[in-house]
Amino acid sequence: MKGKYNICLDIGGTKILGVIFNENHEIVYRVKKLTKEFGDSASNVEKMIISVVKEIIKKSGIDKKELNAIAAGAPGVIDQDAGIVLFSPNLPWRDYDIRTPIEKEFGVPFFIGNDVNTGVYGEYKYGVAQGYEYVVGFFVGTGMGCGIVLNGKLYTGNKFKGAEAGHMILDPEGPLCGCGQRGCLEAFSSKKGISAYIREQAAHGRETMMAEHLEAGTFRSKYLRKALKKKDVVSIEAVDRACHWLAVATGNMVNIFSPDIVLFGGGVVEATGDLFCDKVKDEVGRYCLPSIISTCEFKSGALGDDAILWGGLALIEDAEAAKA
């Protein structure tokens, strides 16, 4: 490590979170920017990333010469070796080389990976999955992402296109997913899926306190938490439905990978506490072999919104270890 500090970013469709880690793995500064402030072109998102990194360096008071590396997690299919975003559903990137301009601007290595892969890897390295060798993680947010660790290594599949369990088909005649298929896990169990169910029930004349929060699209997780606390019947039904299908998908993953642990993270899980994890645990045994589930644990993530940031740090440290 040539410098004392590493900057890690969580690049989303609506915001960028950025932090700086010191050599003791402590976060010494953080910043959050809304992506809509920078328009919808690929170059504008690139400019925003650069501006966030510059702000972190300036406001944290570190010397730029002390910067060691930068890493990021972003949604989509990402070639980690080349630093190219092949496709991103929430950002205007197609076959976009994001590594070259970042490294040119700051003169340090830049690493980028799929956001949920990176987040689950963060939980494996520094969070709830430390000490396990076989890990499956689901992040329940606006969409549904999955990350897998096998034999202590992040599994990304051929050309980094693997681990897309959010698009596992559970019902071929089920609801339409944003990917164009029907009956994906994401169409049932993400915020999009939960929103669609609540909106459908409201359209049938059922009362729900979530109706006003769905006018602009998907809801903010905090509103779902409030609705559940108030025993809103439609919201409870929507969450039960989401957890049912997540339990089915989890059972399939348990049968396939026999993980030591399945972890659940993301904004919805964070907002609802242990509710999601507990409901899945109560049901998942119906959908996998008893002899396999007997050696598997189920836990909520420990790193919260920072999981992807810690995963970025893990990518940096892995690269440095490989060079040593």
Tell me the CATH number at 311.
Answer: 3.30.420.40
Examine the domain organization and report whether 181 and 86 are in the same domain: no
Q: What pLDDT is attached to residue 174?
A: 95
Tell me which residue has tokens 């190219």: 84
Structural domains of the chain, count: 2
Residue 37 pLDDT > 60, yes or no?
A: no
Residue 2 pLDDT > 90, yes or no?
A: no
Identify the residue with better confidence: 43 or 157: 157
Examine the domain organization and report whether 285 and 192 are in the same domain: yes
Q: What pLDDT is attached to residue 72?
A: 97
Give dist(CA 261, CA 264) in Å, integer. Answer: 10
Examine the domain organization and report whether 47 and 74 are in the same domain: yes
Span 156-171, mean pLDDT? 94
Q: Which domain holds residue 280?
A: 128-301
Is residue 285 one of the residues assigned to a domain? yes
Examine the domain organization and report whether 111 and 151 are in the same domain: no
CB 111 within 8 A of CB 319: yes
**Which tens digit of pLDDT belongs to each residue from 279-314?**
999 999 999 999 999 999 999 999 999 999 999 999
Alpha-carbon Rg for the chain in angstroms? 20
Examine the domain organization and report whether 138 and 189 are in the same domain: yes
Examine the domain organization and report whether 310 and 275 are in the same domain: no
CB 92 within 8 A of CB 98: no
Is residue 66 one of the residues assigned to a domain? yes
Examine the domain organization and report whether 187 and 66 are in the same domain: no
Identify the residue with better confidence: 324 or 126: 126
Examine the domain organization and report whether 286 and 157 are in the same domain: yes
Helices (H) and strands (E) in the chain, counts: 11, 13
Is residue 122 one of the residues assigned to a domain? no
Q: Which own/partner pairs from 210-216 qualify as long-range (CB within 8 Å, at least 24 positions apart)?
A: 210/234, 210/235
**Which tens digit of pLDDT belongs to each residue from 42-98?**
677 888 899 999 999 999 999 889 999 999 999 889 999 999 999 887 677 889 999
Find, among 149, 140, 75, the residue nearest to 113 by Cα. Answer: 75
Give dist(CA 135, CA 266) in Å, integer. Answer: 16
Examine the domain organization and report whether 92 and 139 are in the same domain: no
Do the strands 261-265 and 297-300 form a parallel or antiparallel pair, or are they unpaired? parallel
Is residue 123 one of the residues assigned to a domain? no
**Which tens digit of pLDDT belongs to each residue from 7-28?**
999 998 778 999 999 999 999 9
**Residue 222, phi-psi category: left (phi > 0), alpha (psi -120 to 50), beta (remainder):** alpha
**Which tens digit of pLDDT belongs to each residue from 117-129?**
999 999 999 999 9
Span 138-149, mean pLDDT? 94
Q: What pLDDT is attached to residue 210?
A: 92
**Which tens digit of pLDDT belongs to each residue from 235-267?**
999 999 999 999 999 999 999 999 999 999 998
Examine the domain organization and report whether 186 and 249 are in the same domain: yes
**Which tens digit of pLDDT belongs to each residue from 174-200?**
999 988 999 999 999 999 999 999 999
CB 129 within 8 A of CB 91: no
Examine the domain organization and report whether 80 and 137 are in the same domain: no
Examine the domain organization and report whether 189 and 260 are in the same domain: yes
Beta strands across the sheet bearing 110-114:
27-34, 15-21, 5-11, 67-74, 110-114
CB 271 within 8 A of CB 221: yes
**Which tens digit of pLDDT belongs to each residue from 96-119?**
999 999 999 999 999 999 999 999
Q: What is the mean pLDDT of the chain?
A: 92
